[in-house]
């Protein structure tokens, strides 16, 4: 223990020996890890969103109108037809509406949406929704809404409040219709789509659908006989391949619908995730590797300056391994300090951004995860160690006789 402490003290002393040089070297690593932390947090937030999509779409079959039909309307009878298909355990109609029509808001996440679904569907979805406040919508209720955490924050709503949905745009025409809903529940954060959703009952969804229709056909159109989409579920634990087969069977056996293969959707999400993570991480790693090169340079200079010291250590019994270990530890220490500082600054920026500069839509942009923490600090530390290998090897191979008499 004392030996480790002494070694650490010597490393700290060696690093402090050239304060400005060490500061600049550590700054290089710090900036790299800062970039890696913030870019990584951006990617992690995006990935959490994607993971939610993968979980949801990877556990259900989405059925919509057939190719060539632009209007998202299906006869509600299709729900019963689909239920008869082999492998289908449940099918639910659903309606989705823009919660903020007429507003162009740029967001890194999902746009705010009103989702009308059967409360029973919650038991089938892969994303288990839990309640921070209140409860689920009651089956036969009307004008009740459960808000996702982001949308609740955006409109500063809590259980018992009312919310006008869809949200009236500032330049709304006089005939714009919205309804008052009572907030009965607020969901816990999921870091994915449901955070931006306002969940209402099927009957309320049909009401909104009716409101959205043009005047001439509104009165003649029976919204209870249509659905915008159908979510199809198999029994729990069904594989993605089997869900694909169910989608194929639906397409073959049910007329006038198009079932999307879950694997196609999942692959699409994953591809997007890989590209985004690749771009952000590569940019950050580039910055970090440049920082690593400064460690190589610093360590080579340290070896050149400490030739006599190396010779002395060998003379008093240090092995090649000992000398190499000491320089490697020093380089690793620089990487670790740079990593901790860069990670700390990155987290501070993320916290400040998420706390004090929250966007109007309540969304978060960054997500610090344990994986990111380990990766950022671990990568900087390993980078320091790797950067120290060549200088340490040079130090370890020095001839003690020459080193001791080095001027």
Residue nearer to other proteins on the CB measure, 1 or 217: 1
Residue nearer to other proteins on the CB measure, 16 or 236: 16
Exposed, middle or buried: residue 284 (CB in 10 Å: 0-12, 13-18, 19+)?
Answer: buried
Give the integer Cα–Cα distance in Å for 143 and 237: 34
Q: How far is the CB of 401 from other proteins (least distance, A)?
A: 5
- The DSSP symbol for 119 reads G
CA angle 213, 216, 219 (to 5 degrees): 75
| Three-state SS letters, 230-299 | EEEECCCCCCHHHHHHHHHHHHHHCCCCEECCHHHHHHHHHHHHHHHHHHHHHHHHHHHHHHHHHHHHHH
Residue bearing tokens 């000491």: 326
Q: How far is the CB of 12 from other proteins (least distance, A)?
A: 10
Pick left, alpha or beta for residue 143 (phi over 0 → left; psi -120 to 50 → alpha; otherwise beta): left
Q: How far is the CB of 281 from other proteins (least distance, A)?
A: 39
Residue nearer to other proteins on the CB measure, 320 or 371: 320
Residue nearer to other proteins on the CB measure, 17 or 128: 17
226 Cα distance to chain centroid = 35
Residue nearer to other proteins on the CB measure, 259 or 329: 329
Residue nearer to other proteins on the CB measure, 8 or 348: 8
Residues found near other proteins in the complex (CB under 8 A): 1-3, 6-7, 10, 13-14, 17, 308-309, 311-322, 400-401, 404
Residue nearer to other proteins on the CB measure, 174 or 317: 317
Cβ atoms of 62 and 260 closer than 8 Å: yes
Q: How far is the CB of 323 from other proteins (least distance, A)?
A: 10
Alpha carbon dihedral 304, 306, 311, 313, in 10-degree steps, equals: -140
Closest CA to 113 of 90, 70, 147, 163: 147
Cβ atoms of 146 and 198 closer than 8 Å: yes
Q: How far is the CB of 18 from other proteins (least distance, A)?
A: 11
Taking each helix axis from N to C terminus, what angle separates 19-57 and 370-396, rounded to the nearest 10 degrees? Answer: 140
Go through 329-364 and write b for each residue having 16 or more CB atoms within 10 A of its CB, e for each that does not: bbbbbbbbbbbbbbbebbbeebeebbeeeebebbbb
Q: How far is the CB of 9 from other proteins (least distance, A)?
A: 8
Q: How far is the CB of 272 from other proteins (least distance, A)?
A: 53
Listed in sequence order, the residues at least 6 apart from 136 whose beta carbon sits closer than 8 Å to its beta carbon are 119, 122, 146, 184, 185
End-to-end Cα distance, the chain: 35
Residue 202: half-sphere exposure toward Cβ, Cα within 13 Å: 19
Q: How far is the CB of 396 from other proteins (least distance, A)?
A: 10
Residue nearer to other proteins on the CB measure, 9 or 283: 9
Q: How far is the CB of 329 from other proteins (least distance, A)?
A: 13
Residue nearer to other proteins on the CB measure, 2 or 173: 2
Residue nearer to other proteins on the CB measure, 199 or 327: 327
Q: How far is the CB of 314 from other proteins (least distance, A)?
A: 7
């Amino acid at each position: 223990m004392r030996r480790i402490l002494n070694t650490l003290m010597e490393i700290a002393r060696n690093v402090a020996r050239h304060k400005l040089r060490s500061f600049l070297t550590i700054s290089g690593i710090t900036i790299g890890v800062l970039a890696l932390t913030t870019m990584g947090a951006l990617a992690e937030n995006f990935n959490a969103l994607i993971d939610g999509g993968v979980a949801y779409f990877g556990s259900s079959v989405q059925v919509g109108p057939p190719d060539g039909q632009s209007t998202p309307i299906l006869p509600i009878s299709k729900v019963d037809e689909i239920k008869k298909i082999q492998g289908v355990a449940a099918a639910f109609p659903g309606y989705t509406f823009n919660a903020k029509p007429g507003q162009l808001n740029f967001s890194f996440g999902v746009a705010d949406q009103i989702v009308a679904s059967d409360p029973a569907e919650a038991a089938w979805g892969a994303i288990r929704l839990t309640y921070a406040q209140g409860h689920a919508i009651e089956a036969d209720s009307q004008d009740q809404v459960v808000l996702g955490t982001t949308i609740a924050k955006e409109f500063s709503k809590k259980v018992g409040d009312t919310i006008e949905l869809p949200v009236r745009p500032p330049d709304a025409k006089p005939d714009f219709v919205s309804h008052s809903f009572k907030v009965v529940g607020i969901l816990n954060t999921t870091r994915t789509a449901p955070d931006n959703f306002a969940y209402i009952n099927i009957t309320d969804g049909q009401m909104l659908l009716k409101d959205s229709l043009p005047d001439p056909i509104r009165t003649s159109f029976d919204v209870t006989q249509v659905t915008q989409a159908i979510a199809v579920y198999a029994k729990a634990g069904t594989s993605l391949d089997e869900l694909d087969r169910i989608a194929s069977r639906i397409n073959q056996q049910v007329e006038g619908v198009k079932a999307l293969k879950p694997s196609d959707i999942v692959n699409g999400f994953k591809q997007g995730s890989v590209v985004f993570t690749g771009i952000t991480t590569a940019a950050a790693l580039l910055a970090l590797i440049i920082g690593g090169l400064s460690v190589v340079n610093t360590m080579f200079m340290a070896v050149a300056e400490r030739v006599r010291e190396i010779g002395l250590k060998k003379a008093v019994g240090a092995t090649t391994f000992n000398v190499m270990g000491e320089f490697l530890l020093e380089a690793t220490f620089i990487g670790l300090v740079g990593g901790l500082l860069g990670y700390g600054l990155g987290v501070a920026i993320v916290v400040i951004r998420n706390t004090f500069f929250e966007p109007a839509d309540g969304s978060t942009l960054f997500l610090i995860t344990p994986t990111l923490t380990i990766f950022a600090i671990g990568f900087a530390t390993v980078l320091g160690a790797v950067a120290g290998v060549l200088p340490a090897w040079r130090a370890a191979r020095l001839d003690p006789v020459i080193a001791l008499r080095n001027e």
